[in-house]
A and B are shown apart, each in its own frame.
Chain A
Amino acid sequence: MEQETINIITKKDSSPYRFLLVDDSEFARKNIARIVSMIGGVVAGEASTGKEAIEKYQEIKPDVVLMDISMPEMEGVDAVGRIIQEDKKATIIMVSSLGHKDLVKKAISSGAKHFITKPVQVEYAVKIVRSVLEENEEKNKQ
């Protein structure tokens, strides 16, 4: 039902956006992958720790990273900072069960573009991803 009402989002050349999903929960990654698929994106890679996310980012150079916060080895906010250090244009959206204001501010100041709180509301998540991608397109035009 939801798939029928959500418009697909693609790049200007009609190719799909490539996503890196970072979460220590396999269930959470599957759930986010379902949303990525609904908007016409593809999962280019997955990681279950912040450290693994940095390595995967360098390897696959995704268009968008959907990043959890509370993870073993290295937390999501620290991984955001490290990825942004290497690629200032990285598009990272946090997806976390933690969503208090101080943490959101910390994530944004580290370089994240937006914040989605779990449990993920499909329509809201799609709206956020779409708005971040549109904002990127606008910036690329300038």
Chain B
Amino acid sequence: MRIDYIDPFVESTRSVLSEIAHLEIKNGAPSLRQSPMPTKDNVAIIGIAGDMEGRIILEMDDKTALAFAGVMNDMSFEELTPIVIDSLSELTNMMIGNAVSRLNDMGFNFAITPPTFIKGKELLSSTPQVEALIVPLDTGYGEVILNIAIKYNIMPAGVTIDMLLRGLEDARKAI
């Protein structure tokens, strides 16, 4: 069971959000979604390639997005300005970059694309039907969803995403 693929993404997301916002970040219960279609209005997407391929998507609503951009820039924002979008893209880049580095140091081989920030509804036409692992995070500024939509190029025979999900749930309970 390759829970070691998933865990660095969750841990790096928690760690970077916590460091940026100076808040305790709590994991919610992970679940499976038949499609990576986001449920929140704002998404930052990073493409991933190598031992697995797909997208890691960070979802949040307007209020949460503005709050994180505000704390990152030490100022308040009323709308999604270019610097808000850039800040959230960079936030996602730090989370996923840190996770990929941890995985690569463990002997895996992953590469990432620069982040893209878009409104959730615009993702509709370009979202491949890949099963997504959903990890909600309670940040104190609102819920942030880590949406992991990947397929495993070197998944060992007999291992499914359901097995990964059960492994993540076991890990969460053990915390």
Which of B19, B86, B97, B105 lies in contact with A70, CB distance below 8 A?
B97
Select A119's contact among B20, B73, B86, beta carbons within 8 Å: B20
Give bound CA distance, A17 to B132, whole Å. 48
A119 B19 Cβ-Cβ under 8 A: yes
Among the listed A27, A100, A103, A118, which residue makes an inter-chain contact with B73, where contact means beta carbons less than 8 Å apart? A27
Cβ contacts under 8 Å, A119 to chain B: 16, 19-20, 94
A25 touches B104 (CB 8 A): no
Minimum CB–CB distance from A84 to chain B (whole Å) comes to 23
Give residues of chain B (61-98) contacting chain A, Cβ–Cβ below 8 Å. 72-73, 82-83, 86-87, 89-90, 93-98
B105 touches A98 (CB 8 A): no
**Could you say which residues of chain A place their CB within 8 Å of the CB of B89?**
25
Q: Which residues of B contact A110 (CB under 8 A)?
A: none
| Alpha-carbon distance between A19 and B104 when the two chains are bound, in angstroms | 31
The answer to whether the Cβ of A86 comes within 8 Å of any Cβ in the partner chain is no
- Identify which of residues 22-56 in chain A touch chain B, using a CB-to-CB cut-off of 8 Å: 24-28, 30
**Contact between A27 and B90, CB atoms less than 8 A apart:** yes
Q: What mask results when residues 92 to 110 of chain B are scored 1 for a CB within 8 Å of chain A, else 0?
A: 0111111011101100000
At the interface, yes or no: A101 with Cβ under 8 Å from chain B? yes
B114 at the interface (CB under 8 A from A): yes
Count B interface residues, CB 8 Å: 25
Main secondary structure of the interface of A (DSSP, over half): loop
A26 touches B86 (CB 8 A): yes
Judging by beta carbons under 8 Å apart, are B86 and A118 in contact?
A: no
Q: With a CB–CB cut-off of 8 A, which chain A residues contact B113? A: 70
Q: How far is the CB of B155 from chain A (nearest CB, A)?
A: 22
Complex alpha-carbon distance, A71 and B112, angstroms: 11
Which among B19, B83, B95, B100 is the interface contact of A100 at CB below 8 angstroms? B100
Kindly list chain A residues whose C-beta atoms are within 8 Å of the C-beta of B112.
70, 98
What residues of chain B lie closer than 8 Å to A98, measured between beta carbons?
Answer: 97, 100-101, 112
Inter-chain CA distance A93–B94, complex, in Å, is 18
Report which residue of A71, A96, A119 has the largest number of chain B beta carbons within 10 angstroms of its beta carbon. A119
In the complex, the answer to whether B97 meets A118 with C-beta atoms within 8 Å is yes
Kindly report which residue of chain B lies nearest to residue A97, judged by CB atoms.
B97
Q: Which of A30, A97, A102 contacts B94 (CB 8 A)?
A: A97
In whole angstroms, how far apart are the Cα atoms of A103 and B104 in the complex?
A: 9
Task: Beyond A27-B73, A28-B90, A70-B113, list 15 extra A-B contacts (CB 8 Å).
Answer: A24-B114, A26-B82, A27-B90, A30-B73, A70-B114, A97-B93, A97-B101, A100-B101, A100-B105, A102-B104, A117-B101, A118-B93, A118-B97, A119-B16, A119-B94
Could you jot down 26 A-B contacts, CB within 8 Å? A25-B87, A25-B90, A27-B86, A27-B90, A28-B90, A70-B112, A70-B113, A96-B97, A97-B93, A97-B96, A97-B98, A98-B97, A98-B100, A99-B97, A99-B98, A100-B100, A100-B102, A100-B105, A103-B101, A103-B104, A117-B98, A118-B93, A118-B94, A118-B97, A119-B16, A119-B20
